[in-house]
Structure 1
Amino acid sequence: MEWLGLHFITELPQSGLVILDCSHDPLLVLLAYVVACVGSFATLHMVERVGHAEKPGAQLLWRWVGAGCLAGGIWAMHFIGMLAFQAPVETHYELSVALLSLLIALLASWLLMHTLSHPGPSFWQCLKASIWIGLGIAAMHYVGMTALHSSAVVYYRPALFALSIVIAIGASLAALLISSHLREGTGLFHQLLKYSAGLVLGAGIVSMHFTGMAALNLVLPIDSLQVPPSENNHLQLGLTVAIMTLLIIGSSISAALADKKLQHKERDLQRVNALLSQLDQARMSLQQVAHYDALTNLINRRGFNQIFAERLIEKTHEGGMLAVLFLDIDHFKRINDSLGHDAGDELLKVLASHIKSSVRSHEDVVARLGGDEFCLLISLQDREEARHMAQRILVKMKEPIELAGRRVVMTTSIGISVFPEDGKTCEELLKNADLALYQSKGSGRNGLHFFNTTLKTRATLELQLEEELRHALRENTGLMLYYQPIYDLKTGQVSKLEALIRWQHPVHGLLAPDRFIGIAEANGLIAELDNWVLRKACEDLGELSRQGCEELKIAVNCSPLNLGREELADEIEQALRISGVAPQRLELEVTENALMDNITNTLVLLRQIRALGVSLSIDDFGTGYSSLAYLKRLPLNTLKIDRSFIQDIPMATQDMEIVQAIIVMAHTLHLQVVTEGVETFEQYEFLERHGCDFVQGYLLSRPVPLAELRPVLNEINQRKHSCTVSSLSLARGTSALMSTDLFPGIPGSHAVASIVRPVH
């Protein structure tokens, strides 16, 4: 078969021919192998770049670059190999045919790169593509051979010709398989493997070329004139082609490496941007957590303070007014205690939405400061705007709310302070609004109050009193006990004393309990104060025993807050033991509200105290709420009727009936009855007539200190047999039975020196 002047499977003539002896330049052969290896390595590298490129345009670019590197390497190897061919005849090459072979090499290389551009091609896909690529490379080689012109006729050995095609297909298949496995991977081992694969592929390409050259036979007729070859510069031309090819391929590899680094930098930049985005999201989340309340999604205390400071700066420079509305939900603790904290949280969400819907615009700031405390910051033209806003909130808050299967109605107390009248700083305005809120709660709740300077003066005084009270307790100075006699109507003797605390203040003089008991309860001092009273009363009781009053009892008041402490029984036992006083001579007075607040725990504590031998009395009976079912279970000894039921007797018939009923009920429960606040003889006579056991009040004596107590007791007790009741004079004047000095400051016109029961 003859194609383009080449005889592929045509047998040589038997005679008349001379087969020329041809050879190859070893240096050019080695140079051809180097070029083939470099082209193969570049192709493998470009396959990696195609696999790592993210944009379609970049993938197409590196596919063409890879095809160009492979085609240039194969064609340059072929060209240098042809230059290495040495024949004993004159030869020359046709440039157009050589360029045509380059085009064929480029098409075959493109087909290889296109096949490798698909991720994970199968073996059969690689085999199919390698056949076409191998045929293309073989076509490139043999088309390039047609560019060789000489006086000799070219014949090919069929077996070697076929072997060269098989080698081209095998080299293509190896290139496809190796490239598909080297697409992913990094590190030194990966690079060494890629270099080794380049050497193997280069060897395959060179083997194909020189197998084809081994199949070549140049034949001359015997009678033809053999023209010897002229001097040529094949070595110089081969070196030039090799250097140019290597420079081009090297530039492509350098560009690929630079692109790889750039891509890595872009990925690093993307990761940095992603991290920055995550950090920004985290910052926003932290901002949300730091400045917003998670339950109601309102601004929290930190965020409110920040906005508040900004608004103050703005109003300070531009002028204008701000109002701070401090809100506290009335009796919110009852919801948590009765329905649970989950219901309380749901209620807070609803109340927050009510408050939010009451504001005028986005300029008004609503914040939850914690618990059931809310705060509003609004701009206004005059104070009445703040009042109207607060009134809207009060009305909105009263709307019924469905909660845990119940309809509940909540109210709120509001305190208001105004900038710049009531303060110039955030702290001052918030503190003043809180003082106004305190006034609202003290005035019955469900209302609003503006701050005024009186509140600040009172708060300052209370703070000062708190500090001085702490000092008085710590140094045991200024505090003292006064005692008021409790008269036994059956024996005609003073059998009990009520211990009443007083505070001899260095500036304000003698302070009654109502001036500092509330301060002690609000600031955690009440337990210490009650313990001081208990110890002092037991100590004074021991002193009275030494003065001959061995039968006297002392009643000591117990704060409702102190009644919930488990340590109270131990403190009572310790005070009795230190003073050496019998427990039966101590009586503990508690209010009925304190008893009923937590009846289960209170009952346990009262039984412990009762087990010590200490008597128990329920104080101010009738002013609170109590259940008779629980009252009969309590280990009580005495019931004390509040003074509010006595003060209008005998003018108030209803009060007289109430007192009679209480006395009957108490005696039914086997309780003794003490009536306090007795100031007139008519009240005394009424109580005696209806079976009251004890009386206490100004009719007997005002509370007096321990040093003045003994004369008062002697005066009252010695009147028993001195005269009859009818001989008592209740008018003003001087009488042998009257001693106004004993009862200084008694209200009204009654100053009775003694109370004497008739002799029965």
Structure 2
Amino acid sequence: MVTNGRSDRPLNCEAIEQLLTELENHQIKPSENTKNQLTEFQKLLKIFDEASIVVVTDKNGTIEQVNDTFCRISKYERHELIGRTHRIVKSGYHTSSFYRDMWKTISAGEVWTGEIKNSAKDGSTYWVKTTIYPICDDEGKPEKYVSVRTDITEGKEHEERMRELIESDYVTVIENLQNFVVKIKDQGSENYCLTLIEGRLAKEIELDPKYYQGKQVVDVFGEENEQLMFEQVQEAFNGETVNFDFELQGRYLHADFSPVFQDGTNKVIEVVGSVSDVTDLKRSELAVKRIAYHDMLTELPNRRKLEEDLTPQIIKAKKNSENIAVLLIDLDQFKNINDSLGHAAGDELIRGAASRIQQVGTETLTESASLYHLGGDEFLCLLYGVTKQEAKQCAENIIDAFDYPFSYRGGAFYQKASIGICMYPDAAAHSAELLKYVDLALLTAKESGRNTYRFFSSSMKDKLFSRFQIENDLRKALKSDTQFELYYQPINTTINGTLEGVEALVRWNHPERGVVSPLAFIDIAEETGLIVPLGQWVIRESCRQLRWWQGMGYTSLTMSVNISSRQFRHGSFVEDIQSILVEEGVSPKHFQLEITENGLMENTEEMINTLKRLREIGFRIAIDDFGTGYSSLSYLKKFPVTSLKIDKSFVFGLPNDLGDEAIVSSTIQLAHRLGLYVIAEGVESQDALVNLKQHDCTYVQGYYFSKPLPADQFTNEILSRRTKNED
């Protein structure tokens, strides 16, 4: 029976059987083919009927036909469903927008597929996978809808259980994380609020999730981090992944924030992040960094830290139109302390010097001064935002700080300092220039007598270029082997004025500059290490000349050669000089090596061992420029030397300068008591010679007898006066 399109006939395979019966009753006999098709359809429909819910509704959604499966699952009788809409099984799980979207789709004549949670007559719920097929008229407008549903309740319940388990585990995991996680949303106008904060670390640092959830990010992590947090979160909402460190409640924390994008767009809908405690790692990092960037002796920042600090300071000064002054401080002749009193005394002096310099900065330029220990006896003071006059005053205060003695183990000793100063931007444009020019200014201060300061000037730059040129020319000269020449000055006895020996003095005949004074190139050769090959040339050339003179019959002559401390420190010095003498056929007993007093005081124990080896071979050893250095008498008696050479600065004033006479007299007496010969340099007058004789000086040397001469001239003018029989 059908009424208004509705039927109580079940929508199932029994309807096919009933249809066949009605056809027979009306004496309508279908063909065998039709009967077979209907039978097959009946079998398929039976299978379909048992597996799925089938419902036919009109265009308004009113139910017209249902199958038995719908009645079984919904627990409604067929007559309770016919004439009703699906609201009868509505569970309230889905939103109204869900149903609006569904009706919008099927009303347009399109098939809709989705999952729906329904409610049975007894209040239980079930899930169905639903497909709704519109049955349209000739104009494409739906007249009816056939919906086919499959019961997926068991699968959805399993899915729900899994979801609950996952959520439960997720909460457990999050709550027990050693770090903590956050979710942040922009509530509008860059009003960034926490929507989630969870994790054990949050509780440890007293960030209660219940209290802080919903708060603005800038209000959560302390006032000191307010600007940092705002900038980092803002960058994350701009689509960038950010990571940064910050401090909170005595801990070092590391944060990673990442943007979450809306599907298929570049719009950031929220930011998620994690915050970890890196306190132990940070403290280890800071400890390592302190070791890397600080000097262990003075605990001051070191050269590496200066190199990192200087360029940013210059950039800042350029931006703010400020000055920078760099003061390079070097302790005068500090090596003498190390070598005479030991490294422990030297270390104590370095610490004391650092303290005095720091005190000057604290008293005069507290905020602008940074002090660095560059190593050894060098310090650098970086002054930001100061005038040239303030830099000058600071340098004077530092020099004054060294006016009173340092104490060590009950004793006291004085230590002076020299300072080079360079200003930015007046004298240098960048960090490399500042450091290069301040070094040159320091060198100028030392050349000016030490215990003073000098500002860098352009004339020093010219001097620096000149030094560079000399160094290059020196290298070329050593390769050519034709530009250097030895001059010889006689050394005579005071007893009868006879010639005892000669001193070889190197001269440089530059192809463009002419004769270059040793004062202009020896120091540069020392600094660059070129003194080693130059010294070897001098030794070899003087050996050849001595052998030539010996071949002429002057067999008792002694050749004196100046040796720099750098040559002595050269690892193979003893072997090299011994090899040269063997090759040139000269005996070491006719060779005297002269080294300055200060040169002897460098690495004294090593120096003593080298001197002993040389004496064992047969060389004579003389201490040159005696009286001008800082040697200790305790070391002097240990040095295996054969003679002392009194510096000419004490001989010039004889006999009128009583102070010079007292020094010369004392030195001669000291030498004699130590069993040493004495050679007085710089003898230029008869009066000086007489005075030296009166004090029993053994040998003399100076312009009174002869200036240094080339070999040929020396042979003709000096050796010719001496008969070969004297040998």
Comparing 489-498 with 535-544, greater Cα deviation is found at 489-498
Q: Secondary structure at the match of 1:516?
A: helix
Deviations 1:469-509 (A, max 9, x none): 23323442422211112234546542311101111123332
Aligned partner of 2:686 in structure 1 is 681
Contact 2:554 2:724 survives alignment (8 Å): no
Aligned partner of 1:354 in structure 2 is 359
Is the alpha carbon distance of 1:672 and 1:282 closer, same or farther for their aligned partners in structure 2, counting shifts above 3 Å? closer
Aligned partner of 1:208 in structure 2 is none
Q: 2:591 aligned to 572, 586, 589, which one?
A: 586
Give the number of the structure whose residues are more often helix, by fraction.
Answer: 1
Is the alpha carbon distance of 1:246 and 1:278 closer, same or farther for their aligned partners in structure 2, counting shifts above 3 Å? farther
Greater relative CO (CA pairs within 8 A, separation 6+): 1
The one-letter code of the counterpart of 1:554 is: M
Q: 1:534 aligned to 531, 539, 542, which one?
A: 539
The one-letter code of the counterpart of 2:327 is: L
Q: 2:560 aligned to 550, 555, 558, which one?
A: 555
Aligned partner of 1:326 in structure 2 is 328
Q: 2:161 aligned to 253, 260, 269, which one?
A: 253
Q: Given the alignment of the two structures, is residue 611 of structure 1 paired with residue 616 of structure 2, yes or no?
A: yes
Contact 1:291 1:299 survives alignment (8 Å): no
Contact 1:643 1:678 survives alignment (8 Å): yes
Is the alpha carbon distance of 1:529 and 1:316 closer, same or farther for their aligned partners in structure 2, counting shifts above 3 Å? same
Contact 1:366 1:374 survives alignment (8 Å): yes
Q: 1:452 aligned to 457, 481, 491, which one?
A: 457
Aligned mates of 1:627, 1:559 — CA distance in 2 = 19
Aligned partner of 1:494 in structure 2 is 499
Q: Secondary structure at the match of 1:458?
A: helix
Aligned mates of 2:411, 2:311 — CA distance in 1 = 41
Give the number of the structure whose residues are more often strand, by fraction.
Answer: 2
The one-letter code of the counterpart of 1:310 is: P
Comparing 286-295 with 581-590, greater Cα deviation is found at 286-295
Aligned partner of 2:99 in structure 1 is none
Structure 2, gaps ≥5 residues long: 1-71, 76-119, 128-150, 182-255, 257-273
Deviations 1:96-127 (A, max 9, x none): xxxxxxxxxxxxxxxxxxxxxxxxxxxxxxxx
Q: Given the alignment of the two structures, is residue 524 of structure 1 paired with residue 529 of structure 2, yes or no?
A: yes
Is the alpha carbon distance of 1:631 and 1:460 closer, same or farther for their aligned partners in structure 2, counting shifts above 3 Å? same
Contact 2:487 2:711 survives alignment (8 Å): yes
Contact 1:675 1:692 survives alignment (8 Å): yes
Aligned partner of 2:220 in structure 1 is none
Aligned mates of 1:389, 1:698 — CA distance in 2 = 46
Contact 1:348 1:372 survives alignment (8 Å): no
Q: 2:481 aligned to 451, 457, 476, which one?
A: 476
Comparing 257-266 with 557-566, greater Cα deviation is found at 257-266
Structure 1, gaps ≥5 residues long: 1-79, 84-234, 722-760
Contact 2:428 2:434 survives alignment (8 Å): yes
Comparing 550-559 with 659-668, greater Cα deviation is found at 659-668
The one-letter code of the counterpart of 1:323 is: A
Contact 2:357 2:398 survives alignment (8 Å): no
CA apart distance, 1:517 = 1.8
Give the 5 Å matches for 1:430-449: 430-449=435-454
Measured on the aligned residues, the alpha-carbon RMSD in Å equals 4.4
Give the 5 Å matches for 1:609-648: 609-624=614-629, 631=636, 634-648=639-653
Q: Given the alignment of the two structures, is residue 574 of structure 1 paired with residue 576 of structure 2, yes or no?
A: no
Comparing 366-375 with 700-709, greater Cα deviation is found at 366-375
Is the alpha carbon distance of 1:661 and 1:321 closer, same or farther for their aligned partners in structure 2, counting shifts above 3 Å? closer
Q: Secondary structure at the match of 2:618?
A: coil
Aligned mates of 1:691, 1:283 — CA distance in 2 = 69
The one-letter code of the counterpart of 1:540 is: Q
Contact 1:674 1:693 survives alignment (8 Å): yes
CA apart distance, 1:540 = 1.4
Look at both structures and tell me which one has the larger radius of gyration over its CA atoms: 1
* TM-score normalised according to structure 1 size: 0.55
Aligned partner of 1:309 in structure 2 is 311
Aligned partner of 1:464 in structure 2 is 469
| Residues matched between the structures, number | 489
Aligned mates of 1:406, 1:672 — CA distance in 2 = 33
Q: Secondary structure at the match of 1:487?
A: strand
The one-letter code of the counterpart of 2:362 is: S
Is the alpha carbon distance of 1:263 and 1:604 closer, same or farther for their aligned partners in structure 2, counting shifts above 3 Å? same
Deviations 1:402-430 (A, max 9, x none): 87888887654332212222021121122
* TM-score normalised according to structure 2 size: 0.57
Aligned mates of 1:566, 1:372 — CA distance in 2 = 24
Aligned partner of 2:434 in structure 1 is 429
Aligned partner of 1:124 in structure 2 is none
Contact 2:368 2:385 survives alignment (8 Å): no
Contact 1:555 1:586 survives alignment (8 Å): yes
Aligned mates of 1:421, 1:241 — CA distance in 2 = 87
Aligned mates of 2:319, 2:126 — CA distance in 1 = 82
Deviations 1:552-596 (A, max 9, x none): 221112223434456333223212101111222212223344445
Contact 2:420 2:454 survives alignment (8 Å): yes
Q: Secondary structure at the match of 2:705?
A: coil
